Each structure stands twice: as structure tokens, then as C-alpha cells.
């Protein structure tokens, strides 16, 4: 027996409480809570007295006042007479726009890079490697600025625009592309497309059932492809191309008509996508190579074809490894889109956290809104990830 | 096929057939093994053909390395105008740090290398002594750079260039590592209040972009301080960078903690070690070792993110470059600036990621042993 | 001896007992793992505990050094009752050595450092003294020459012997063995059992969860059979093996002896 126990009866109440497992954990937590609370109390009290001394209050009234600044690219109607709130919505939509397009392009390029990195061709493999290493090891802000600089400096003025078959024009003021206007018959095509998707979902299940029951295989992929793409395309031409494209035309110093994609958007979109694609490429490569050779060999030994091995054995396992880090790359892309402010693309940070903040002097309110918006995005994405992880765990059982 | 018959058990090792080895076989196996492979090779060669010559021309053959201003460059060549970078090189390195005190920056850099050796190589001589110096280094360097205590003070607004990148990066890692460890332990804790606090802090940090935190530092942080306190902008930025990277550090270390088998803690418990003893002696040494590649990768991310400080007006190399572009002598040379800074980041980050890869391989072989 | 100074004193008769377990219950959530366990272990007694997997035998001995918490009943180890008092838990743990199924050696420390860790940090022994103590026990388990290697460089049997030496370095009065040989290759089981048999001849109190019936016959003073979280039967080894009373004991014995 050691000293501590011998002296036990003399221990005072404090040390007795401290040595009890449950009271100790309560004591530690009370202290921690008090410290955290004191810290926040101190900050909030400072904030209140600081705001008072300069005669400011906390209010969201400024959101309903006119913004009086312009936004060059907006998905909804917006002018300088619109409110700050509307400006914020424009900012949110612009962030989402670049995030959605970025995720799509980054995924396509990323999977391509991943596959190239696994290619047996030494040259392609090394090219993909050099690309990935270059892109990953240079800050994304630099990519954005470099690309923006190249677009603004290297592309010609509208009068000398790069002409892509008289329909699209690349200039340093933006990319001018045809804008579609839809005739009523177009909605038939759109309807067929949606119907095609539903059909293929049903057909896949049906084919699966037939296969289970009789062992017969349908060429599911080709039939679905035909239903989703083939029939709508056919219908489009049979109905006499029911989309009218408005082609931009050079009027004076600039193009009129059609749609314009601003160089800021292009630079941000391409740079973010290519940057994220490099990371996705590595994730895809790692995911696929993590599936041991043994798995492919076992499948091959069973006599499955190369395509079936990929489809039935490698890809389902690789996706489990790939998807969680892939989602966090999507989240990174969304967060990195906040760098838009460096080139003047009007996203959340640049609208409410930038111009609105500077004009109204509402630092507290604006920054809180910005932080909350980003937290919401990441909460949504990470709850999707948790849901997915749970689903995978169920499958494993 | 060999003609000769050998007595069983005495067959010698023969060289492989000649069509299996040599450069021809290598090219056939790696570039031309199938029609698809041949097409890939052709595409790659074509890609190299259109990319490499113009790049080489712009970088070297058509580039101007000397010249007074942009026009002088353009008069000589159409490619890059490196004269610009040459003229501003000191600015890129030291920012606006006063000329007569630059020895302090140089000395800090040399000390940095000394401090890094014991951290990076576990076979370095006098390692335990060296590690103590490494821990002291951020404070020594801070004193050297900022001044005070006998050194003439240099305002942090004059910090800039690569030196600023290193200051932010090193401060970030030096302080975010211990905070990250505490957060990770807190997240694993079975005390609910501490756990909830750590989890919400980590998730908050990881849920918002760094730029918004920097905006908070530059616009609203001063409201939360006692009236009259004026905080240095660089210090505010450093605090935010440390908090930001500690959130990511915590998640990396948590991964390491989770990899430690439960039996390790049970064994430590059954020997009578206390919580902090078993963390310090048993769990953390193992968990940190596994996490090192992740820590290095987090650091690479942090290091690249230091460029964001230009958005709130600090002059890192990118900021110096952009400021220099407004000089009418050199206007329009943004590509040169960006590429120059990109090369700097590429070299340092690629070096670090190689190091982390080397560690990962070492860890892997260590496990197999 | 300082037992009489305890506030959480057990009854006077406890002085003869190393471990007293009275009416002990334990639940994992809804699951009742240990049901009304009663066990008195006299000082120096060697007890072997056996039973099918999931019978609660490991959980029971893990309760003895508070690796698992019990919810009802008393556990008194060497006169100290296991309560929420952390001082009592610390005291018990430094008196009780434990050997695990998967050794749980610390892979980042050498064999020597594994052995000296607890003496240095818990007992506050000077390093030189701890080193010589460790060497002494490493000699007893017959691997002094491996002292400067890392656990990963040793065979399973060697690792388990290091684990035993590591526990002995705290000079425990009670040793708990939680299936010490079941993670070992057959040819290594004997070297570990030999060490344990030698240890048994030295008067230390041992509680050992194992299926090595030969070991039980040689060493044990008493064999305890557990099933479904209860102690079903206990007896001296000869009686236990030759004349089992309970049906479940008979079934268990026939399964492990005939495979």
C-alpha cells in the first residue's frame, strides 16, 4: 500500500471530491464551461460597449435599403436600386453557380486524370502526373489570378474577337455565346428526356428482375442510353429543331444579343475546377489502386470479362473509398470559390461581405451572415456524407 | 529453348530471351502494347509538341533578362520579361523590411534551417537538444524580426515578400500543432461539455473559408477587444491562421488517435498510469507518428493559403508582385509575376510533399517489420 | 500494511483474502453480462477461470482492476474497495498486474522501456534502479538478450513473456491473465506457460482465464467455470475434470477436450 492511501482519513473534503471519478468529471466540466462562458461574456461585453461608444446598434434593417452598386453578372433581375438583401441573394446564387459548374467540370477532369494516372501508357501516365503535381503545389489563388490575367490580357478586344464558327466569340470582355429561346414544341423533347430517365430507372429494375428469374441479360446500358439521349435527340430533329438560338452580333464596340459569360466567372470556374480536379485525380487513383490485385484476379479466375470485373467488383469497392474524400473536395471547391473577390466576381463574400459591408459599415451583421451561409453549405454537404457513410456501413453488414 | 540437357537440380540461371529486355522491349511494353496504347502515345506526343516549344520560347528563348522597363524588354524579345523580376527580387524576398536590419531576416532563416534538421530527420545528431531549440525557435525568430529587448523595433507593416510567407506559415504550424492536439484529445474525451466545445469549434473552423475568417480579423475582431486596445493587423491575421489550421490539424491527429488500439490504453491503465501520463507516454507518441504525413499535408495547405492575406492588404510575394504591376514602368507583366511566384510555391510545396511521401513509405515498412 | 487505515474498509475477515467479489452485477447497456458473481480468492491462491466465449470470464477479471466498471455489488482487492474514488483505483492498479491476450506491448518503446515505464512514472523509481529491476525480471522470463529490441522484432511468445515481465516490474501481489496464450502459435504456448508455472510456485495470487487444461491441472488450486455471466461451478482441479456436476460443465469439457 502506498502513502496516499495511508493518509486517506486526513484528506479534506476538496481532495475527496476531486478524487471521486464522477465529481471530478463534473468539476472539470464546470470549470471548462465557466472559462468558455467568461471568455464569450468578455467579448460580448466589449462588443456592446464598443458599439455604444461609436453609436452603433445591431440591426438587419440595412438589408432592406437600396444597395446602390452594380453587379455585372446576375442570375436574377438586379439593379443598383435593388436592396442589399437582393444583392446578397445574387451573391449566393453566383457562389452556387460557380460551385455547381465547378463540381461538374472538376469531377469530369478529375476522373479522367485518375484514369490516365492508372494508364499503362508510360507517357500519358507521366503527363497526368506532372499536371497533378504542378496544379496541387501552387496556391489556388495564383491559378485564379493567372488565368484571369491571361483572359484579360491575352484575349482580343471585341472587334478582333476569336470567332468560333460565327456562333461564339471569345473576347477579353467575356465569352459571347448564343442564347436559346424555347418554342412550345421543345417541351415535348424535354418531356421525352425526363420520361427517358424514369424509363431507364424502371427498366434497370425490370432487367434485374428478369435476370434473377430467368438468367437472361438485356443490354441495359445501350437501351437506357437510347431512351435518355437517343429518343429525345431524334424527336428534336423530327419536330424541326424547336430551339431558336440568338446569335451575338458585333454592334459598335461590343457584342449584343446572345449570352455573355464574364471573364471573372470563366477564370474562377476553370481555375477552381482544374485545381480541384488534380486532387480528385489523386483520390480516384488511390481509390482504384487500393482495391487489391487479388480482387481483380479472383474475378478474372471466375471467368468474368474485363468490363464486368470493373463494373461488379472494382468500381463498387473503389467508390466506397473515393466518395467520402470526394465530397470533402466538393466542399473545398465551394469554400475556395470565396476567392472570387480577388478578381471581382460577385459571390457571397464580395457582395454582402464586401461592398455591402463597406457601404453600410455593418461589419458584425454582414460577417455573421456570411459565416452562417458557409456553415449551412458545409453542414448540408457533410450531412450528405454522413448519410452516405451510414448507408455503406449497412451494406457491409 | 536451349539444346543442352542439364542434370536435374543443376539447371543454371539463364538470361531471359533478348526480346524481353532492352529499350526496344521497354518502348513496346510501355508505349505501343495495344492499338489504344498507340493512340494514347500519339496523342501525348502531339500534346507535348504543341505545348513545349511555345512554353520554352516564352520562358527562355524569347525572354528578356535585362532591361530598364517593359518597353526595353519588348524591344528585345516577345516572351517573358524577367528583368522586372530581377529588379524587384529584394522586394520579393524581404518586402519593405528596412535595408539595414535585413541581417535579422537572414539570421532567422539560417536558424530556421538549424531548427528544422532535428524535426525532419530522426537520426540527426544531438536530436533531443535540437528539438528543444526547435520549440524555442518561433519565439527567438519573433524577437529577431519584430525587435524590442535591445533590438530596434521594426513595424510589422514593413514585413512582406517570401519572408512574410514563412512567418505566417511557421507561426501557423508551430502553434496550431499543440492546439490541434488538445482539440483532438478534447474531441475524444468522455466529458460532454469539453467534447461539445471541441467538436463545434472544429466543425465551425472547417465549415467556413479562411478568407471569411481573415475578414473577421480585419473588420470585426477589434469590436471584441477591450476599448482602446489596438491590435496589430499581422498579429490578428496570425491568430486567425493559427485557429484555422488548428481545426484541420485536430482532425488529422484524431485520425492518428483512432488508429491506436484500445489495448494500448488498457495496458497503460492497468499499470496505473494517469490520463495525461498515458497520453503523453503511450498514445501521443504513436498517434503523432502516424499523423505526420497528414500534418505535413495540412501544412502544405496552410502554406499555400498564406497567399490569401493579399486580399486584406498584406504584402506577401503575390501582393508585392501585384503592387509592382501598378508601376507604369512595368505594367501588364502580370503573367511573369504570377509564374515567378508559382515557381516559388511549387518548389517548396513539391519538396514538402516528397518529404511526406518518404515518411509514409518509411511508416509502411516500419509496420511490416 | 495500511489496510486498517482505510475509510472504505472491508470487514476484518478480508485480511486473508486477496480479492473479494460480492453480489457483483454488470451490464453493457441493456445486456446483463455478469449476474450475481461471488468469489473469494485467498492470498496466494491460483485460480483458473474457463468457460465458452461470451460467458463473461474476461469481463469479470477486467473488473478486478477497474478496466471495466461494475454497477452493483462490491469488489475488494487487497483490502481496498473499488469505488468511484480514483485514488483507490490507482492503488489497486499498481498492486495488480495484468497480462492481455494481445500482449498490448507499446510498439514505440523498447522491451526495456516497456518494463521500466510504470516503475519510473507510477512508483517514481530512479531510472538505474528501474533498469536493474527490469533486467532481473527479463532474466526470469528468459529473454534478457532482447532488452534493447522493439516489440515488433520479437515472436509472439517472446512478446507475451515481455508483457509478463512488464507487469512483474510493478511487484504486484495479484496477477490477472486474460487468455494469455490464445493469440499464440502452438509452438510458442509452452514457453509462456512455463514462465507462468514458475511464477505460480512463488506465492503470488493468480487469476487466469485460459483454456489450457494441462496448466489448470498442474497449477490451479481451484477451477471456476462460467457461462452466461454466472459462475456455474467451482472445484479443485481433479474433481472438476473427473467429476463435473453441472450439465453445461460436462458439455463444455467434452467440447474442449475432444477437439
Q: In this structure, what CATH number is given to the domain that contains residue A293?
A: 1.10.3720.10
Predicted local confidence at residue C1, as pLDDT = 38
**Do A303 and A380 belong together in one domain?**
yes
Cα A290 from Cα A272, distance rounded (Å): 27
pLDDT at B109 over 50: yes
Residue of B nearest to C98 (CA): B270
Of the pLDDT bands very low, low, confident and very high (cuts 50, 70, 90), residue C147 is very high
Predicted local confidence at residue B7, as pLDDT = 77
Beta-sheet pairing, C174-178 with C205-209: parallel
Chain A adjacent subunits, 3+ CB pairs under 8 A: B, C
Task: Tell whether the torsion through CA atoms of A134, A137, A138 and A144 is positive or negative.
Answer: positive
Indicate the pTM of the whole model: 0.84
Arithmetic mean of pLDDT, C95-115: 91
Cα B189 from Cα B61, distance rounded (Å): 61
Which residues, 6 or more positions from B96, have their beta carbon under 8 angstroms from its beta carbon? B157, B158, B159, B160, B315
**Do A206 and A314 belong together in one domain?**
no
Q: Which of B211, B307, B346 sits opposite A134 (nearest CB)?
A: B346
Residue B288 cell numbers, joined:
503523432
Residue A191 cell numbers, joined:
418531356
Of the pLDDT bands very low, low, confident and very high (cuts 50, 70, 90), residue B361 is confident
**Do A189 and A326 belong together in one domain?**
no
Decide if A352 is inside a domain: yes
**Do A315 and A368 belong together in one domain?**
yes
**Do A91 and A222 belong together in one domain?**
no
C-alpha B346: how far from chain center: 9
In this structure, the number of other CB atoms found within 10 A of the CB of residue B7 comes to 6
* Residues of chain C above pLDDT 70, percent: 94
| pLDDT tens string B167-187 | 999 999 999 999 999 999 999
Tell me the domain boundaries of chain B. 18-61, 87-97+154-362
In this structure, the number of other CB atoms found within 10 A of the CB of residue A304 comes to 16
Residue A294 cell numbers, joined:
487479388
Inform me whether the C-beta atom of residue C69 falls under 8 Å from chain B C-beta atoms. Answer: no
pLDDT at C159 over 50: yes
pLDDT at C77 over 60: yes
pLDDT at C209 over 70: yes
**Do A122 and A14 belong together in one domain?**
no
Tell me phi and psi for residue C27, to 5 degrees.
Answer: -125, 145
Q: Which of A28, A124, A375 sits opposite B204 (nearest CB)?
A: A375
Of the pLDDT bands very low, low, confident and very high (cuts 50, 70, 90), residue B366 is low
The whole-angstrom distance between A32's CA and the closest CA on chain C is 20
pLDDT at C258 over 70: no
Q: How many helices (H) and strands (E) does chain C have?
A: 9, 10
Partners of A267 on chain B (C-beta within 8 Å) are: none
Map residue B25 onto helix, strand or coil. helix
Is residue A127 within 8 Å of B52, Cβ to Cβ? no
Is residue A263 within 8 Å of A148, Cβ to Cβ? yes
| pLDDT tens string C49-66 | 999 988 999 999 999 988
Q: Which of B31, B208, B211 sits opposite A123 (nearest CB)?
A: B31
Predicted local confidence at residue B3, as pLDDT = 56
**Do A313 and A171 belong together in one domain?**
yes
Residue A15 cell numbers, joined:
481532495
Predicted local confidence at residue C15, as pLDDT = 73
Predicted local confidence at residue B304, as pLDDT = 94
How big is chain B, counted in residues? Answer: 369
DSSP string, B285-336: HHHHHHHHHHHHHHHHHHHHHGGGGGGGT---HHHHHHHHHTSGGGTT-HHH
Partners of C7 on chain A (C-beta within 8 Å) are: 8-9
Arithmetic mean of pLDDT, B47-63: 88
Structural domain containing residue A312: 84-178+261-392
CB contact under 8 Å between A374 and B206, yes or no, is no
Beta-sheet pairing, A174-177 with A259-261: antiparallel
Q: Which of C102, C107, C118 sits opposite B273 (nearest CB)?
A: C118
Partners of C94 on chain B (C-beta within 8 Å) are: 271-272
Q: What is the mean pLDDT of chain C?
A: 88
Chain C adjacent subunits, 3+ CB pairs under 8 A: A, B
CA-nearest of C9, C4, C8, C10 to C22 is C10
Predicted local confidence at residue C45, as pLDDT = 93
Task: Tell whether the torsion through CA atoms of A4, A10, A16 and A18 is positive or negative.
Answer: negative
Is residue A265 within 8 Å of A184, Cβ to Cβ? no
Q: Which of B266, B286, B366 sits opposite C67 (nearest CB)?
A: B266
Arithmetic mean of pLDDT, B13-39: 79
CB contact under 8 Å between A127 and B33, yes or no, is no
> Of residues B34 and A393, which shows the higher confidence score?
B34
CB contact under 8 Å between B30 and A353, yes or no, is no
CA-nearest of C104, A9, C117 to B274 is C117
Residue A190 cell numbers, joined:
424535354
- CA A146, A151, A156, A157: dihedral to nearest 10 degrees? -120
Decide if A214 is inside a domain: yes
Number of domains present in the structure of chain A: 3
Q: Which of A29, A121, A137 sits opposite B40 (nearest CB)?
A: A121
Decide if A211 is inside a domain: yes
Residue A220 cell numbers, joined:
441495359
**Do A303 and A234 belong together in one domain?**
no
Mutate to test the interface with C, among B262, B269, B270, B286 (most CBs of C within 10 A): B270
CA-nearest of B245, B247, B239, B248 to B218 is B239
- Integer CA distances (angstroms), C16 to A132, C78, C205, in order: 72, 9, 12
Predicted local confidence at residue A397, as pLDDT = 40
| pLDDT tens string B329-342 | 887 788 888 899 99
Partners of C5 on chain A (C-beta within 8 Å) are: 5-6, 8-9
Cα B162 from Cα B90, distance rounded (Å): 10
Complex ipTM: 0.88
Inform me whether the C-beta atom of residue A20 falls under 8 Å from chain C C-beta atoms. Answer: yes
Quick one: which H or E segment has residue C36? strand C31-42
Q: Which residue has the cell 524576398?
A: B93
Predicted local confidence at residue C12, as pLDDT = 44
Map residue C31 onto helix, strand or coil. strand
Partners of A5 on chain C (C-beta within 8 Å) are: 2, 5-6, 80, 87-88, 91
**Do A273 and A218 belong together in one domain?**
no
Q: Kindly give the confidence (pLDDT) of every residue in chain A, 397 residues in length, as a single tens digit, with 9 standing for 90 and above.
A: 444 444 445 557 888 788 888 888 899 999 999 999 999 999 888 888 888 888 888 888 888 888 888 887 778 888 888 889 999 999 999 999 999 999 999 999 999 999 899 888 889 999 999 999 999 999 999 999 999 988 887 788 877 788 877 778 888 778 888 887 778 888 888 898 999 999 999 988 888 888 888 888 888 888 888 888 888 888 888 887 777 777 887 777 777 777 788 889 999 999 999 999 999 999 999 998 888 777 877 877 777 777 777 877 888 888 888 888 898 899 999 999 999 998 989 899 888 888 888 888 888 889 999 999 999 988 888 888 888 877 776 554 4
List Cβ<8 Å contacts ≥24 apart for B87-90. Answer: B88/B320, B88/B321, B88/B324
Cα A272 from Cα A100, distance rounded (Å): 11
Decide if A19 is inside a domain: yes
Cα C207 from Cα C41, distance rounded (Å): 9
Which residues, 6 or more positions from A156, have their beta carbon under 8 angstroms from its beta carbon? A162, A171, A172
Q: Is B240 exposed, middle or buried (0-12, 13-18, 19+ CB in 10 A)?
A: buried
**Do A113 and A36 belong together in one domain?**
no
- Integer CA distances (angstroms), B107 to B89, B143, B169, C16, in order: 19, 12, 18, 71
| pLDDT tens string B280-332 | 999 999 999 889 889 999 999 999 999 999 988 888 888 888 888 888 888 77
List Cβ<8 Å contacts ≥24 apart for A89-93. Answer: A90/A346, A90/A351, A91/A346, A91/A347, A91/A348, A91/A349, A91/A350, A91/A351, A91/A352, A92/A348, A92/A373
CA-nearest of C179, C137, C180 to C157 is C180
Partners of A28 on chain C (C-beta within 8 Å) are: none
- CA B350, B352, B357, B360: dihedral to nearest 10 degrees? -160
Of the pLDDT bands very low, low, confident and very high (cuts 50, 70, 90), residue C13 is low
**Using alpha carbons only, how large is chain A's radius of gyration in Å?**
29
Q: Which of C100, C108, C167 sits opposite B263 (nearest CB)?
A: C100
**Do A185 and A174 belong together in one domain?**
no
Inform me whether the C-beta atom of residue A52 falls under 8 Å from chain C C-beta atoms. Answer: no
CA-nearest of B244, C118, B280, B130 to A374 is B244
Tell me phi and psi for residue C124, to 5 degrees.
Answer: 60, 40
C-alpha A309: how far from chain center: 31
Inform me whether the C-beta atom of residue C18 falls under 8 Å from chain B C-beta atoms. Answer: no
CB contact under 8 Å between A21 and C91, yes or no, is no
**Do A203 and A120 belong together in one domain?**
no
Partners of A341 on chain B (C-beta within 8 Å) are: 211, 311
Residue of C nearest to B287 (CA): C108
- Integer CA distances (angstroms), A24 to A20, A181, B194, C84, in order: 6, 71, 13, 10
Helix ranges (DSSP H) in A21-65: 21-53
CB contact under 8 Å between A5 and C7, yes or no, is no
- Integer CA distances (angstroms), A222 to A212, A227, C95, in order: 20, 9, 73
CB contact under 8 Å between B270 and C152, yes or no, is no
Predicted local confidence at residue B196, as pLDDT = 94
Is residue C135 within 8 Å of C166, Cβ to Cβ? no
Decide if A233 is inside a domain: yes
Predicted local confidence at residue B4, as pLDDT = 64
The whole-angstrom distance between C143's CA and the closest CA on chain A is 30
Predicted local confidence at residue C134, as pLDDT = 94
Cα A225 from Cα A204, distance rounded (Å): 12
Between B87-96, C57-66, C199-208, the lowest mean confidence (pLDDT) is in B87-96
* Residues of chain B above pLDDT 70, percent: 97
Helix ranges (DSSP H) in C122-220: 127-140, 156-168, 186-200, 213-219
Arithmetic mean of pLDDT, C216-240: 92
Bridge partners for A254 per DSSP: A251
Mutate to test the interface with C, among B122, B261, B271, B281 (most CBs of C within 10 A): B271
Beta-sheet pairing, A249-251 with A254-256: antiparallel
Helix ranges (DSSP H) in C27-151: 57-64, 86-95, 111-121, 127-140
CB contact under 8 Å between A133 and B350, yes or no, is yes
Q: Which residue has the cell 468529471?
A: A25
Can you name the CATH fold of B87-97+154-362? MetI-like fold (1.10.3720)
CB contact under 8 Å between A367 and B219, yes or no, is yes
Map residue C27 onto helix, strand or coil. strand
Amino acid at each position: 500500500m502506498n502513502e496516499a492511501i495511508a493518509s486517506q482519513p486526513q484528506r479534506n473534503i476538496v481532495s475527496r471530491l476531486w478524487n471521486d471519478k464522477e465529481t471530478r468529471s463534473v468539476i472539470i466540466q464546470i470549470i471548462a464551461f465557466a472559462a468558455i462562458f467568461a471568455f464569450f461574456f468578455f467579448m460580448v461585453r466589449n462588443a456592446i460597449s464598443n458599439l455604444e461608444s461609436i453609436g452603433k446598434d445591431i440591426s438587419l434593417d440595412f438589408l432592406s435599403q437600396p444597395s446602390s452598386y452594380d453587379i455585372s453578372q446576375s442570375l436574377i433581375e438586379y439593379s443598383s436600386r435593388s436592396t442589399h438583401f437582393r444583392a446578397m441573394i445574387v451573391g449566393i446564387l453566383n457562389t452556387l453557380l460557380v460551385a455547381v459548374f465547378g463540381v461538374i467540370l472538376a469531377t469530369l477532369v478529375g476522373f479522367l486524370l485518375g484514369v490516365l494516372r492508372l494508364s499503362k501508357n508510360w507517357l500519358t501516365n507521366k503527363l497526368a502526373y506532372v499536371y497533378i503535381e504542378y496544379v496541387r503545389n501552387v496556391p489556388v489563388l495564383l491559378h485564379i489570378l493567372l488565368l484571369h490575367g491571361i483572359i484579360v490580357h491575352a484575349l482580343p478586344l471585341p472587334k478582333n474577337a476569336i470567332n468560333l464558327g460565327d456562333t461564339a466569340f471569345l473576347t477579353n470582355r467575356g465569352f459571347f455565346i448564343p442564347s436559346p429561346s424555347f418554342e412550345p414544341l421543345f417541351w415535348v423533347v424535354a418531356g421525352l428526356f425526363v420520361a427517358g430517365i424514369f424509363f431507364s430507372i424502371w427498366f434497370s429494375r425490370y432487367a434485374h428482375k428478369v435476370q434473377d428469374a430467368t438468367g437472361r441479360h438485356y443490354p441495359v446500358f445501350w437501351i437506357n442510353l437510347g431512351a435518355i439521349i437517343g429518343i429525345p435527340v431524334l424527336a428534336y430533329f423530327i419536330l424541326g429543331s424547336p430551339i431558336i438560338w440568338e446569335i451575338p452580333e458585333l454592334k459598335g464596340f461590343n457584342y449584343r444579343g446572345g449570352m455573355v459569360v464574364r471573364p471573372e466567372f470563366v477564370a474562377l470556374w476553370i481555375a477552381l475546377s482544374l485545381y480541384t480536379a488534380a486532387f480528385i485525380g489523386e483520390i480516384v487513383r488511390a481509390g482504384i489502386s487500393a482495391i487489391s490485385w487479388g480482387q481483380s484476379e479472383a474475378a478474372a479466375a471466375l471467368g468474368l470479362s474485363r468490363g464486368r470485373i470493373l463494373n461488379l467488383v472494382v468500381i463498387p469497392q473503389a467508390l466506397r473509398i473515393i466518395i467520402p474524400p470526394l465530397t470533402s473536395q466538393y466542399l473545398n471547391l465551394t469554400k475556395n470559390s470565396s476567392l472570387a473577390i480577388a478578381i471581382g466576381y460577385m459571390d457571397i463574400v464580395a457582395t454582402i461581405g464586401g461592398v455591402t459591408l463597406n457601404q453600410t459599415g455593418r461589419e458584425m451583421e454582414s460577417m455573421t451572415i456570411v459565416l452562417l451561409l458557409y456553415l449551412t453549405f458545409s453542414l448540408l454537404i457533410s450531412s450528405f456524407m454522413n448519410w452516405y457513410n451510414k448507408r455503406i456501413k449497412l451494406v457491409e453488414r | 529453348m536451349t539444346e543442352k540437357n542439364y542434370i536435374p537440380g543443376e539447371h543454371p540461371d539463364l538470361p531471359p530471351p533478348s526480346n524481353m529486355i532492352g529499350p526496344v522491349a521497354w518502348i513496346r511494353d510501355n508505349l505501343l502494347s495495344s492499338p489504344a496504347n498507340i493512340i494514347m502515345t500519339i496523342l501525348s506526343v502531339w500534346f507535348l509538341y504543341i505545348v513545349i516549344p511555345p512554353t520554352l520560347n516564352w520562358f527562355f528563348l524569347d525572354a528578356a533578362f535585362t532591361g530598364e522597363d517593359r518597353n526595353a524588354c519588348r524591344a528585345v524579345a516577345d516572351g517573358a520579361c524577367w528583368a522586372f523580376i530581377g529588379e524587384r527580387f529584394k522586394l520579393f524576398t524581404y518586402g519593405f523590411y528596412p535595408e539595414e536590419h535585413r541581417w535579422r531576416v537572414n539570421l532567422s532563416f539560417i536558424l530556421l534551417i538549424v531548427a528544422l534538421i532535428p524535426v525532419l530527420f530522426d537520426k540527426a545528431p544531438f536530436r533531443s537538444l535540437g528539438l528543444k531549440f526547435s520549440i524555442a525557435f518561433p519565439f527567438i525568430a519573433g524577437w529577431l524580426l519584430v525587435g524590442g529587448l535591445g533590438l530596434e523595433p521594426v513595424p510589422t507593416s514593413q514585413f512582406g515578400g517570401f519572408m512574410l510567407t514563412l512567418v505566417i506559415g511557421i507561426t501557423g504550424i508551430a502553434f496550431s500543432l499543440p492546439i490541434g492536439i488538445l482539440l483532438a484529445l478534447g474531441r475524444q474525451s468522455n466529458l460532454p461539455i469539453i467534447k461539445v466545445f471541441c467538436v463545434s469549434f472544429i466543425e465551425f473552423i472547417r465549415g467556413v473559408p479562411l478568407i471569411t475568417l481573415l475578414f473577421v480579423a480585419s473588420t470585426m475582431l477589434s469590436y471584441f477587444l477591450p476599448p482602446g486596445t489596438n491590435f496589430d493587423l499581422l498579429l490578428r491575421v496570425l491568430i486567425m491562421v493559427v485557429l484555422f489550421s488548428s481545426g484541420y490539424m485536430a482532425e488529422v491527429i484524431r485520425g492518428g488517435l483512432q488508429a491506436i488500439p484500445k489495448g494500448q490504453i488498457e495496458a497503460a491503465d492497468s499499470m496505473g498510469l494517469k490520463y495525461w501520463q498515458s497520453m503523453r507516454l503511450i498514445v501521443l507518441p504513436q498517434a503523432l507518428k502516424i499523423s505526420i504525413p497528414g500534418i505535413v499535408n495540412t501544412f502544405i495547405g496552410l502554406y499555400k493559403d498564406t497567399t490569401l492575406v493579399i486580399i486584406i492588404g498584406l504584402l506577401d510575394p503575390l501582393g508585392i508582385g501585384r503592387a509592382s504591376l501598378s508601376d507604369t514602368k512595368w505594367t501588364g507583366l502580370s503573367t511573369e509575376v504570377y509564374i515567378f511566384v508559382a515557381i516559388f510555391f511549387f518548389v517548396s510545396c513539391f519538396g514538402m510533399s516528397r518529404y511526406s511521401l518518404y515518411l509514409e513509405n518509411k511508416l509502411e515498412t516500419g509496420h511490416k517489420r | 500494511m495500511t489496510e486498517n487505515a482505510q475509510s472504505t474498509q472491508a470487514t476484518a475477515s478480508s485480511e486473508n483474502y486477496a480479492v473479494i467479489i460480492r453480489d457483483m452485477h454488470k451490464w453493457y447497456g441493456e445486456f446483463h453480462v455478469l449476474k450475481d458473481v461471488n468469489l473469494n480468492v485467498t492470498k496466494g491462491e491460483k485460480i483458473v477461470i474457463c468457460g465458452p466465449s461470451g460467458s463473461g470470464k474476461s469481463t469479470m477479471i477486467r473488473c478486478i482492476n477497474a478496466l471495466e466498471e461494475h454497477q452493483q455489488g462490491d469488489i475488494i482487492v487487497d483490502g481496498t474497495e473499488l469505488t468511484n474514488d480514483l485514488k483507490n483505483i490507482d492503488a489497486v492498479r499498481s498492486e495488480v498486474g495484468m497480462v492481455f491476450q494481445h500482449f498490448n506491448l507499446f510498439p514505440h518503446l523498447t522491451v526495456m522501456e516497456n518494463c521500466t515505464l510504470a516503475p519510473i512514472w507510477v512508483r517514481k523509481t530512479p531510472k538505474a534502479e528501474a533498469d536493474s529491476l527490469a533486467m532481473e525480471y527479463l532474466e526470469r522470463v528468459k529473454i534478457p538478450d532482447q532488452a534493447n529490441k522493439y516489440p515488433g522484432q520479437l515472436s509472439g511468445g517472446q512478446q507475451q513473456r515481455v508483457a509478463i515481465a512488464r507487469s512483474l516490474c510493478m511487484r504486484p501481489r495479484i496477477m490477472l491473465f486474460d487468455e494469455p496464450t490464445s493469440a499464440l502459435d502452438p509452438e510458442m504456448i509452452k514457453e509462456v506457460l512455463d514462465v507462468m508455472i514458475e511464477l505460480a510456485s512463488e506465492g503470488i495470487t493468480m487469476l487466469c482465464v485460459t483454456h489450457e487444461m494441462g496448466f489448470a491441472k498442474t497449477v490451479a488450486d481451484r477451477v471456476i467455470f462460467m457461462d452466461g455471466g454466472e459462475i456455474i461451478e467451482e472445484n479443485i482441479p481433479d474433481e472438476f475434470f473427473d467429476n463435473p456436476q453441472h450439465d453445461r460443465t460436462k458439455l463444455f469439457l467434452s467440447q474442449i477436450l475432444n477437439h
